[in-house]
Structure 1
Amino acid sequence: MAKPSSRGAGAAENSDGARRILQAAESLFAEQGFSAVSMSAIAETAGVSKANIYHHFATKQELYMAVLREACSVTSGLLNDMEAQGVPLRESLPRFAHAHLSSLLERAEFARLVLRELLEEGPKRGKELAEQGFAPSFARLVGIIRGGQASGELRADLDPAMVATLLIGADVFFFEAQNVLRHYPEVDFAENPRRYTDMLIDILLHGILPSPAR
């Protein structure tokens, strides 16, 4: 796994030049895949020299992970909103689910790149993506769900990581399968992501068994 550069990646990624490099890299990675993209092509698209890329990012792998962190910052911002709102989970979870799915649909090419990388590169890429991209946001979501358990909003006997996995997994499935779902006569939510996430959260919170008679 590529080691973080000693240059201070977080600060470097905030410079104007680095921002152009990241945008160019995301576009090319999404279009062609990680292996097919050269640093020269990224430099040309960003309008900088290849030496300038190496000033910010030691390797193509490090640049790819920086692009991934940038994509994950969207989810981090959604979690910030959840934590700042101070509203019950029954209200904040639907908002998160819809915003998360919307972010997948809006950055569809890059989302497909990440999924393709997971399928093609297997355990090696999965470990890198977890450690340098997804794990912090997932841990925060688990923590929010665990907080809901502690406050009595959610069942205490549930595994919060499982709840988070179901929520994220359902969004990813919709993203991957929307073009198929829209051709199923039984499915009337393929063109309405908000309705999909509302129904998803309703099932997560209330299950599929009938409510006991009062």
Structure 2
Amino acid sequence: MPLVEPTLNLSASAPDAVERILAAAKDLFAESGFNAVSMNAIAERAGVSKANVFHHFKSKNALYLEVLKTACHESGSQIDQLGSGSGTLVERLRAFSQLHLTNILQDEKISRLIQRDLLENGPQRGKEFAEQVFGQNFASLVAILRTGQKKGELRKGIDPAMLATLLIGADVFFFQSREVLRHFPDVHFTDKPESYSTMLMDILLCGILPKP
């Protein structure tokens, strides 16, 4: 790995350079995948030197993880809002479900990049992603659901981690499969993510058994 001298004269201010590097890396990783992207290509796209890139990020993998963490920032903000927003927990869960799905759909390239990497390199990437990218958001979501249980807003006996997995997993499945689902004659919500989220939350909150 190239070593960078501490006295390196940066061609741009640090915040500006970092933002350009992250933006360039995000686009290139999303377009071609991690393995196909070189640090030279990132530097060229960002309009900085390769040494400048290594000045801010010690390796391509460190830059990659930072791109993913930055992409997950919006989800973290949505979870914070779920925990501290106004309204009942049920109302906030419904809003969170829609915002989370919207976030996945709007950042489609990054969503596909993450899924592709996990499918191809799950055993290698799984622990790294859990500890450095997604873990804090997931733990925060579980903690909010557990607090809701303690307050009597959610049924006791449900594993909060299982509920968090269902919430997130249902949105990921919709993103992955909607191009197939749209061709099923009984499916009418592939172009209506808001409707999908509403029906999903109705099932999760009310169940599938008839009321006694």
TM-score by length of 2: 0.92
Q: Which residue identity lines up with residue 100 of structure 1 in the other structure?
A: H
Cα distance in 1 between the residues matched to 2:46 and 2:82: 35
Cα distance in 2 between the residues matched to 1:32 and 1:124: 19
Aligned residue pairs: how many? 200
Q: After TM superposition, give the deviation of residue 84 of structure 1 in Å.
A: 2.5
- SS across alignment from 1:122: helix
Q: After TM superposition, give the deviation of residue 124 of structure 1 in Å.
A: 1.3
Deviation by residue 1:117-153 (Cα, 9 ceiling, x = unmatched) = 0011121101111110001000000011111101101
1:82 aligns with 2:82: yes
Deviation by residue 1:137-175 (Cα, 9 ceiling, x = unmatched) = 000000111111011011110000000000000000000
Aligned-pair RMSD on alpha carbons?
Answer: 1.2
Q: After TM superposition, give the deviation of residue 77 of structure 1 in Å.
A: 0.7
Alignment gaps of 5+ in structure 1: 1-6, 8-13
Cα distance in 1 between the residues matched to 2:103 and 2:192: 14
Task: State how 1:121-200 maps to structure 2 within 5 Å.
Answer: 121-200=121-200
Cα distance in 2 between the residues matched to 1:28 and 1:173: 25
Q: Deviating runs (4+, > 4 A) in structure 1?
A: none
More off after superposition, 84-93 vs 41-50: 84-93
Q: After TM superposition, give the deviation of residue 49 of structure 1 in Å.
A: 0.7
Cα distance in 1 between the residues matched to 2:116 and 2:59: 21
Cα distance in 2 between the residues matched to 1:41 and 1:100: 32
- SS across alignment from 1:155: coil
Task: State how 1:1-214 maps to structure 2 within 5 Å.
Answer: 15-212=15-212
TM-score by length of 1: 0.91
Cα distance in 2 between the residues matched to 1:197 and 1:144: 19
Cα distance in 2 between the residues matched to 1:43 and 1:94: 42
Cα distance in 2 between the residues matched to 1:70 and 1:169: 21
Cα distance in 2 between the residues matched to 1:42 and 1:88: 45
Percent identity, aligned pairs only, is 54
Alignment gaps of 5+ in structure 2: 1-5, 7-13
